[in-house]
Amino acid sequence: MATRDLRTYLEKLPDATFLVDAHDLRILDTNVRTGTIFGYPAETLLSRSLSELLIGGTPELVGRALEGQHDPHPDTPLRLSVRWHGGGEAPVDLRVTRATDDEPLLVVAVRRVSEAARIAERELVTIVCAAPGAIVTWNLSDRRIVSFNPAAERLYGMRTEDALGQSVDVLVPATACEELLLAEKRIVESGDLPMREVSRLRSGLEIAVEERLFLIKDVGQHVLRVGSMSQEVTELQGLRRATEILSDTEKSAADGPKGETGTAMSHVYALADTAALDPHVTVLLLGETGVGKSRLARRIHARSTRARRPFLEINCASFDANLVESELFGHERGAFTGASHPKRGLVEAAAGGTLFLDEIGELPLAVQSKLLSFLDDRNFRRVGGVVNLRADLRLIAATNADLEALVAAGTFRSDLYYRLRVMPVHVPPLRDRSSEIPEMAAAILEELRRGAKDVKLTRELTRALARYGWPGNLRELRNALERALILARGGPIALEHLPPEVLAAADPRKVGTDGDTRLAGVERRHIERVLASAGGNRTVAAEMLGISRSTLNRKIVEWSQSPSRAALASERPPKV
């Protein structure tokens, strides 16, 4: 900017304004208003240092004011006092800007303020700093934080200097950013908004807070900023939820959940509901394939304080050993061939909620080690990453395998096994709760009929269902009932609509020629028939049976120790 332009600029400013050297604050030029502030003729101030006129106005302090580092809130002017020409002092506010980009020149604007105004302002600042609730304000235009009181530092786990200038979204989980934007829009339009219970972040972990938004306006009543007053209610929310769960648990113990009212499952549900009370405890669900472990995991999530957050599920056996780590923990760009973009893993995506790892026994040893490390401190790195990330979540694992046997065989880490076994819950197979089958079947039919007319189970049908061993457990029962509904074509379900193996168990005259009516024998013959109908394809047979292929393979290995029937004695390689 040319000298003439600087002179014109200075004279147009409403405040007493100086053009000074940035190194020593030597006054190079000034406007006529300086006389009203300092009592000096403007020409007598030239070549003097501004430090002589301002009490405490050192070049270092003025330099910090230029960078916005003189106060926790950079929009605040530099507050000093000026020495009068004839003696005495008066309070003033200073604002500092650069005169040009290529010269070390500063423009310092000085405005006199009343002592009463300064005291009132200081009182307001003291009240805000002493407030027990977190108070944060941000610009409506760019949504950048401009004030952050000490209570906000404690609530959000962030220092004021780190928060200022950041987008307010840094305090909000990714899933809640849209909700905050809508809340801002509503309060700007209506001028008021009730207290809301929302999710916010403290050091990367989600917390529950009660939050009320407010507006800051200029003298023309135009909205400049939005503010929030918040206090944490995570513990209060937990107490509320615990009260609800305890009440539900008492009812569950007396009546049992719909379709599963037997004493065996009442105990299981009571234990699961107790685990739900602590949102951090790790739960290990044990039981055969198809007994309802996934459903139980969802129940634990739904009855915990994490119920509003994500529930994500992964079957560890369904991914290649080289990919499961990336699925769980994510990867950075270039981490491996084909990783053209960074990707969040399920651990990161489930933050605040629950991650359910089914068939945990199939997890590769290398990934077991990383999972153990994550469970210890909730920190992890993406594949190919160097930055430590953190995710607060509950882990629920499930398996139909004997983990202790896997530990003994060296395929499962013993330290991870004991880390997972904080709250073990064993889900009994359906054959051990045959008295519950009629009610379960009625409940499943209610889900399956999809608007069709009401379907009733006759006493003969329920007796047949209860006599069968159900090696595929709930999954097989559901498949059998769905098959019966289809064959019934909207009419009543008859015995002939049930699978042959169920009918064989109901009528001993229909069992095989060997006359073996023991449960193990019935199960074995049924699997043999299904294998034969699938042409020896174990994958297809497992799907038809409603069990996993690994469960089918295990049963065949067990039977191979004794004389086998034709369908199992074949030495042909199994089809896949």
CB atoms within 10 A of CB 33: 19
> Residue 359 has what pLDDT?
93
Whether 50 contacts 109, CB under 8 Å: no
Whether 248 contacts 422, CB under 8 Å: no
> Residue 251 has what pLDDT?
46
The structure tokens 């061993």 sit at: 469
Q: Which CATH number fits domain 429-495: 3.90.1170.30, 3.30.70.890, 1.10.8.60, 3.40.50.300?
A: 1.10.8.60
CB atoms within 10 A of CB 384: 15
Amino acid (1-letter code) at residue 558: E
440-448's contacts with Cβ under 8 Å and 24+ in sequence apart are: 440/259, 440/260, 440/474, 440/477, 441/259, 441/465, 441/477, 441/481, 442/259, 443/258, 443/259, 444/259, 444/477, 444/478, 444/481, 445/481, 445/485, 448/478, 448/481, 448/482, 448/485
Phi, psi angle pair for 359, to nearest 5°:
50, 55
* Chain centroid, CA 431 distance in Å: 38
Would you state the structure tokens that stand for residue 328, as one six-digit string? 């769980």
> Residue 292 has what pLDDT?
87
Amino acid (1-letter code) at residue 488: A
Phi, psi angle pair for 64, to nearest 5°:
-65, -35
> Residue 554 has what pLDDT?
84
Q: Kindly tell me if the per-residue pLDDT of 396 is higher than 90.
A: yes
List Cβ neighbours of 470 (8 Å cut-off, separation of 6 or more). 429, 430, 431, 437, 476, 477
Q: Residues spanned by CATH 3.40.50.300 within the chain?
A: 237-426
Between CA 543 and CA 550 the distance in angstroms is: 11
Between CA 268 and CA 343 the distance in angstroms is: 37
237-426 maps to which CATH number? 3.40.50.300
Looking at the DSSP bridge assignments, the partners of residue 108 are: 18, 96
Q: Assess if CATH 1.10.10 describes domain 511-576.
A: yes
Q: Kindly tell me if the per-residue pLDDT of 357 is higher than 90.
A: yes
> Residue 103 has what pLDDT?
80
Between CA 557 and CA 551 the distance in angstroms is: 10
Between CA 283 and CA 268 the distance in angstroms is: 13
Q: Which residue has the higher pLDDT, 570 or 203?
A: 203
Q: Which of 494, 484, 495, 474 lies closest to 545, judged by CA?
A: 474
Among 475-489, 494-508, 511-525, the least confident range: 511-525
Q: Residues spanned by CATH 1.10.10 within the chain?
A: 511-576
User: What is the percent of the chain with per-residue pLDDT over 90, rounded to a whole number?
Assistant: 26
**Phi-psi label, residue 14: left if phi above 0, alpha if psi -120 to 50, beta otherwise:** alpha
The 8-class DSSP code of residue 510 comes to G
Whether 286 contacts 421, CB under 8 Å: no
Q: Residues spanned by CATH 1.10.8.60 within the chain?
A: 429-495
Q: Assess if CATH 3.30.450.20 describes domain 131-232.
A: yes
Report, as an integer, the average pLDDT of 119-133: 81
Q: Kindly tell me if the per-residue pLDDT of 291 is higher than 80.
A: yes
3-120 maps to which CATH number? 3.30.450.20
Q: Residues spanned by CATH 3.30.450.20 within the chain?
A: 3-120, 131-232
451-456's contacts with Cβ under 8 Å and 24+ in sequence apart are: 452/485, 452/490, 453/490, 455/485, 455/488, 455/492, 455/493, 456/492
